[in-house]
A and B are shown apart, each in its own frame.
Chain A
């Protein structure tokens, strides 16, 4: 059996578990409502007088901040709490394959939720003539952003069997990833720190790297950044899972 089909078997079960529970539908509804709400009211969509999804994507880092950890919190916590981890990790797969399978499933779930925002895209296309290239870049960025938050949630959920703790810790870590590049915070930092330090710190922020996608620029450095966050957080997940068993 190939490594790919093992990963896929794990992912399939995980994805089915999302859709077998009402939580998935509740999540999707809340996500769509909030996305619509932020875009059309907070985002002053109609006052802008321009056909774009700028407001929609501008709110993504904040919206995902709460919603993605909610999706990711059960990944390993639940597995530990119910003891199925002992089953999963004694099947003939490596820990990495199990981590990848579970991560991909929840990422796919978020991708589906994101895809369901297509009415927003339809709306702007009906109302005006937006630059659809920018919109595609925005969606790609949002997906990468969700992946980064999700990988962090995967790591925190490996650390505890308590989903609430997992959620809160993931939220705090993701919030830190946002804030180090959030203008009010960087401005504060710039008052006493040299500019190179402010810039170096901001380079670790998802906001900094999400900006390009919002403008429709697909910069490979931004893609590499998100890929590294995902890779690193999944690596931490593996280290935590191994560490626990090694005692």
Chain B
């Protein structure tokens, strides 16, 4: 339902979005990840038609955003990054305005407002002026505005920003629920959110897509994915590491901790070995060779965190003139 083709946007000499293409079908929830300034918001602004692209095109539900903006926008609910709203209005007046802008009148408008209020838990502040609301409530008011016409496409720029943990959880499950029959794109800096709510994730860095896949696929790209974590009783840490590293199929071993009488290590399989059997083989090899006790053993899934860090360069590495801090050099 959303089709983005070769989207590019420059600001002066700077390219904020560089040849980005992707599609989102009905029933999909796409997580948009990337470091600050990667171009997430800029891409979303181009999808909603707020800013025109320098090159490329966007189609929403078959309508070209540049050629038929009204038709396309009718089908989009949009939560902009800063969650703006008219601060001089009350929550209910603001939502009424949004409903009218969406062509809803009289009964339909009332029902839409009531539904959005319920979905976003705004009952308690209904008649309060927006400028007296707390940040989280303001954010939810703007989110309610995006949902008011039950759109087929939702573009949410950091929908959980500024919400408390309970509300974050609510919004995530709301996104997952709505994702069943809508096409949703949302950006976030919280990686667990991607696993909790997305069917697919795109990581974008300096305007380019650097990864695109299901959360599981992305996690599998982590070098920790498929590694086996062992806790052993008996050997010295260094001795265990050297011994294990010599086993067939083991690429390298690192020491995780060495306290309380047990040594925790992480063994990485060499490429040919990346499979479930690795843990079993490892256990067997250990038991047949040494008299160590295996206190713990499990295969690691890999973490999005690692993938994210590995494929997007840290902010500090961006400025070539700045001396690299030791943390990065290490």
Binding site for B on A (CB under 8 A): 1, 5-6, 9-10, 13, 16-17, 20-21, 82-84, 86-87, 89-94, 245-247
Contacts and interface: CB of A to CB of B under 8 A. Distances in A.
Contacts of B142: 87
B80 interface: yes
Which interface class (under 10, 10 to 19, 20 to 34, 35 or more) fits B? 20 to 34
Contacts of B312: none
B50 A86 contact: yes
Contacts of A92: 70-71, 73-74, 101-103
Nearest to A242: B52
Given A9-B101, A90-B73, A92-B73, A246 B84 contact: no
Contacts, number: 69
B88 A86 contact: no
A17 B11 CA distance: 34
* Residue among A13, A92, A93 with most chain B CB within 10 A: A92
Interface of B: 10-12, 45, 48-52, 69-71, 73-74, 76, 78, 80, 82, 84-89, 93, 97-98, 100-103, 142, 145
Given A86-B84, A92-B101, 5 more contacts: A6-B101, A86-B45, A92-B70, A245-B51, A247-B51
Contacts of A89: 50
Does more than half of chain A's interface fall in helix, strand or loop, or is it mixed? helix
A247 B45 CA distance: 13
A98 to B, nearest CB: 10
Nearest to A85: B84
A90 B11 contact: no
B88 A245 contact: no
A83 B87 contact: no
Contacts of B74: 92
Contact of A84 (B49, B73, B84): B84
A86 B51 CA distance: 9
26 contacts: A6-B101, A9-B97, A9-B100, A16-B93, A17-B88, A83-B82, A83-B84, A84-B84, A84-B86, A86-B80, A87-B85, A90-B48, A90-B49, A90-B78, A91-B98, A92-B70, A92-B73, A92-B74, A92-B101, A92-B102, A93-B101, A94-B69, A245-B52, A246-B52, A247-B11, A247-B12
